[in-house]
Structure formats: C-alpha cells, structure tokens
Amino acid sequence: MKNRILLVAILLASVVPALAADKEEKVEDRINQSATVFKEILGMPDGIPKDLLNKSYCVAIFPSVKKAAFIVGGSYGRGLITCRKGHNFRGSWSAPSMFALEAGSVGFQIGGQETDFVLLIMNDAGANSVMSSKVKLGGDASVAAGPVGRDAAAATDIVMKAEILSYSRAQGLFAGVSLEGSTLRSDDGANKTLYGKELSAKEIVREGKVPPPADAQKLLALLRKASPVHVGK
C-alpha cells in the first residue's frame, strides 16, 4: 500500500510542473508554434491532401500536445482554430480562436512524447458543432482518421462523410489518427488575453468581430497560399 501511494505521489509530482508550465505559456507563442507545425506538415510529401484542405471549412492546430501521465487518464493540449469567413464559408481565413483539446489514451503514447494534431472541419454541421461551448468528437460531431498523400483517393465513404478529419505527427511520422472520445472547447481565458475582451469562438471566427492579431499573419499567409479558396464537394 505504501509503495502504491509513493508511486502516485511521484507521478503527480511529474505532472504538476508540466501543467504549471502549460498555464504560463504565452498565447502568442501558441500561435507561432501552430504556424510552424502547419508549415512543416505542408512541406511533407505525404502530408494533408490538398483536395481535402481545399474542401475544409475550418482548420484546428494543436502543437506539442503532451501525455500528462497515465494516472491522470489522458492528454491535454492547447491550440487554435481558424475558419473561412463569409457566406457559406467562401471567404478568406478568419482571425484565430484559441482552443483546448482534451483526450483519453486513444492515439497517444505513454510517456513524455509530444504530438502535433491537425483537424480539418469538413462541413457546416461540423463547424457549428465546434463553435459550441464544448464538443465531444464521435458524439456531438463525427470524426475519422484523415487519409494522407495518395491514400486520399482511396478513402472510404465513412471518412469522406465525417464532419472532422484528424491527423497527428509524432517523431516525424505524420498519419491519420482517431480522436473519437476527445473533446474540443473554446479556451476563453486565452481569447480574452489575446483580444482584450471576452469573445466566443463564433464571434471571432464566424462573425469577424475582431481583426487577426499581428502574430497570426504568418499562419494566415500559409493558409491563404495553400488553400486560397474553398472548393465545394
């Protein structure tokens, strides 16, 4: 019994500093890290298929998501989301809204390995679900592991009909990954820090109530170059 209590104490001691450091992360750093991750993934030969990116309504990026510890029962990461503006998502990419990703053990490795995640929101229903206060993937919105590279042409109907396609990159390997059971929610505190007032995700990315901050220009430029216009299905 004493050994078990000692093990729990050691595990918690390893988790608390990581969570404290995560809280101290600057929002601007998160935006810059998201831009770097997206640029690197775009440069991979078997990265996100261009036709799927062109069909996407929104893109969510979560850089360096860490496995807290198996005693905690999951992982927690912070990132952002940007959507195409305008009627029927036909406009340019929006200012980013800060988001949090909370996941169970599926798709994650035990230990300190960091994983980058990119989610493509593929239709209006998926976008509307994500704009709610909290959405459970696989429940409130359908999600599937996204196809990569040439595999996109062979994607099943289940994948192509999913509201959200999810990808991961860890140790240089990029692949589709199932995030079913994970949750997405707006990081309201980070949005207030970034924009200086309380705003919902919908107000930021759909209603355009704030202009993109300077730190988001690099990411938005990458998105505009990679996918300047939405291509309907």
**How far is Cα 92 from Cα 159, in angstroms, rounded to an integer?**
26
Q: Is residue 8 one of the residues assigned to a domain?
A: no
Length of the chain in residues, anyone?
Answer: 233
Is 20 within a domain? no
CA distance 111 to 131: 32
The answer as to whether 108 is a domain residue is: yes
Q: For residue 77, how many other CB atoms are within 10 A of its CB?
A: 23
Report residue 2 as tokens: 């004493």
Considering only CA atoms, which of 219, 225, 232 is closest in space to residue 59? 219
DSSP state of 43: T
Q: What does pTM read for this prediction?
A: 0.83
In this structure, is residue 19 part of a structural domain? no
**Domain that residue 41 falls in:** 26-226
Mean pLDDT within 116-128: 94
What does the alpha-carbon distance between residue 114 and residue 43 come to, in Å, rounded to a whole number?
20
* Structural domain includes residue 3: no
Q: What's residue 20's pLDDT?
A: 36
- Please report, for the chain, how many H helices and E strands are present, in that order: 8, 9
The number of distinct structural domains making up the chain is: 1
pLDDT band, very low/low/confident/very high, at 70 (cuts 50, 70, 90): very low
Q: Is residue 7 part of a domain?
A: no
Evaluate whether residue 142 is within a structural domain. Answer: yes
Distance, CA of 196 to CA of 72 (rounded, Å): 33
- Is-contact 46 174, C-beta < 8 A? yes
Residue 144 lies in a domain: yes
* pLDDT tens-digit readout, 78-107: 999 999 998 888 899 999 999 999 876 544
Q: What percentage of the chain exceeds 90 in pLDDT?
A: 54
Sign of CA dihedral 33, 38, 43, 44: positive
Q: Are strands 58-69 and 74-83 parallel, antiparallel or unpaired?
A: antiparallel
Q: Which residues contact 139 (CB under 8 A, 6 or more apart)?
A: none
Q: What is the pLDDT of residue 116?
A: 93
